[in-house]
Amino acid sequence: MPPRTRASEPAEQQGASPSNTAPANYIDTQILRTGIDSLYLSYAGELRSGMEPQLEARKALAQAPDALDQKEATILLSNQSFAVLGKGRGPFPFVLANNWYQIGVFRAQARKLPLAHVQIGSEVLTCAGLDATTDALRQVVEELAGNPCEPSISRVDLCVDFLTDSDLEAIPRDHWITRSTSRAQYYDGGQFSGYVFGQGGPVSCRIYDKTLELKKSNKYYLHTMWQAGGWNEEAKVWRIEFQLRNTVLREFHIRTLDDLKANMNSLWDYCTGKWLKLCVPSSSNVNQSRWPLDPRWHTLSQATFADGARDELCRVASHTAPSDHRLFVHGLGAITSFMAREGLDKIDDALPRYLEAAHAFHRRQSQYTGKTLNTYVREKVQQKRTRFSARTFDEFDPATGELKEDI
């Protein structure tokens, strides 16, 4: 492996270099893929003339009680459709969202604040790559501003998905060497789901069961990525993910996308060699910083990150309509329950009877709701069309039992 330069470490964070004496071909841990899970960008500038009234009008539509009015709460920017949400978030009066981006937008008169703060979705980053994703975003922001805008990086989450035969739960506490003042183990239904180090700090790390998380997030596009790395579709996949916020990125002089692409490997070296390590205690050396790396950690620390280029892009829909898996696996719950209740075995026989029963139920309820089945379904369809244009990127984190942060 060719040598790589490391990001300059802040003076107060200097420490001894870890020992890399573990064999590079240690097979207990296998890396499936590396990448950027989340990226937050900030754009300086001002809204172009006439844009703020458009956003105000669509925000008002999003707040309307009528689903048909809510459906119109969208705006087209650089050939991408965005839902304008009915509520702002934090300091952002306007929030624009689709399956690729969530954009918090300031008002035109907020001259001391940035024009926009953007969270990029993990799916488009994973499937399309950093360059294609940020190039498309640049065109969207330029349409908001009416002129070119260059982003600065507010936060980046680097991740590595891996396989291991080890029982990660059984790792002794003192084998973890970290600069974090906090660490915790988490469980989901009694099953070990992962570790969190430094939660809420400028640097934090999650190590968690990604296959468990997929059961809740339905990110099945990752299966293809894992298979390319050698996954057999049965083994448990773990993820190690480092979150680096603005303050620490500035210390490493990483402000622009070019800075990030040039230093992703160096950031990973710092995270896995200085900030957090899994070591093998040595009775001959009381200095923990000089303990040799655990072979599993040695493998993870050697992960490499591309500069964002992809030889071939895979398409990622910007809308948030549910996947076929969501519709035709999870979506069959109501009909299969109906079949079990009615003693039916064939779905072709069950569907007409289900529809007939649904019409009868809504006719009985119409004296209270004023809605037939057709009316009820039409309203739900309109509401979901609006919702499928919007996404807030809130994601369940099985390691903490909480939602991942939003902008």
Residue whose pair of structure tokens reads 């998905």 in the numeric block: 161
148-195 pLDDT, tens digit per residue, is 888 999 999 999 999 999 999 999 999 999 999 899 999 999 999 999
| Domain limits, the chain | 11-306, 325-388
pLDDT of residue 310: 31
Task: Round the average pLDDT of the chain to a whole number and report it.
Answer: 83
224: amino acid identity, one letter: T
pLDDT at residue number 27: 52
The pLDDT score that the predictor gives to residue 331 is 77
Answer whether 0.85 is exceeded by the pTM. Answer: no
The CB-side HSE value for 11 (13 A sphere, CA atoms) comes to 0
In this structure, which amino acid lies at residue 217?
A: S
Q: In terms of Cα–Cα distance, which of 328, 362, 389, 301 is closest to 102? A: 389
If pLDDT is split at 50, 70 and 90, which confidence band does 402 have? very low
The 3-state secondary structure of the chain, one letter per residue:
CCCCCCCCCCHHHCCCCCECCCCCCCCCEEEEEEEEEEEEEEECCCCCCCHHHHHHHHHHHHCCCCHHHHCCCEEEECCEEEEECCCCECCECEEEECCCEEEEECCCCCCCCCCEEEEECHHHHHHHCHHHHHHHHHHHHHHHHCCCCCEEEEEEEEEEEEEECCCHHHCCHHHEEECCCCEEEEEECCEEEEEEECCCCCEEEEEEEHHHHHHHHCCCHHHHHHHHHCCCCCCCCEEEEEEEEHHHHHHCCCCCHHHHHHHHHHHHHHHHHHHEEEECCCCCCCCHHHCEECHHHHHHHCCCCCCCCCCCCCCCCCCCCCCHHHHHCHHHHHHHHHHHHHCCCCHHHHHHHHHHHHHHHHHHHHHHHCCCHHHHHHHHHHHHHHHHCCCCCCCEECCCCEECCCC
- Alpha-carbon gap, residue 268 to 280, rounded angstroms: 20
Under a CB-based contact definition with an 8 Å cutoff, are residues 212 and 399 in contact? Answer: no
For the chain, how long is the longest CA-to-CA vector?
82
Contact 42, 114 (CB under 8 A): yes
- Is residue 8 within 8 Å of 266, Cβ to Cβ? no
Beta bridge partners, 95, equal 104
Q: What angle do CA 18, 24, 29 make, to 5 degrees?
A: 95
Q: In this predicted structure, what is the pLDDT of residue 326?
A: 67
Q: Are 398 and 208 in contact (CB under 8 A)?
A: yes
User: In whole angstroms, how far apart are CA 124 and each of 36, 127, 133, 218?
Assistant: 10, 5, 7, 15
Find, among 198, 203, 206, the residue nearest to 181 by Cα: 198
Q: 168-177 contacts: CB < 8 A, separation 24 or more?
A: 168/192, 168/194, 168/195, 168/207, 168/238, 171/278, 174/281, 175/278, 175/279, 175/280, 175/281, 175/294, 176/276, 176/277, 176/278, 176/279, 177/276, 177/277, 177/278, 177/279, 177/288, 177/289, 177/291
Q: Which residue has the higher pLDDT, 282 or 308?
A: 282
**Predicted pLDDT of residue 43:** 94
**Are 173 and 288 spatial neighbours (Cβ–Cβ below 8 Å)?**
no
**What is the structure's pLDDT at 333?**
83
* pLDDT at residue 191 in the model: 93
pLDDT at site 406: 40
**Which among 175, 122, 155 has a CA at the least distance from the CA of 293?**
175
Helix 257-270 / helix 130-145 crossing angle, nearest 10 deg: 140
pLDDT tens profile 318-345: 455 666 766 777 678 888 898 899 898 9
Which residue is listed with tokens 């080890």?
Answer: 166
- pLDDT for 8 equals 42
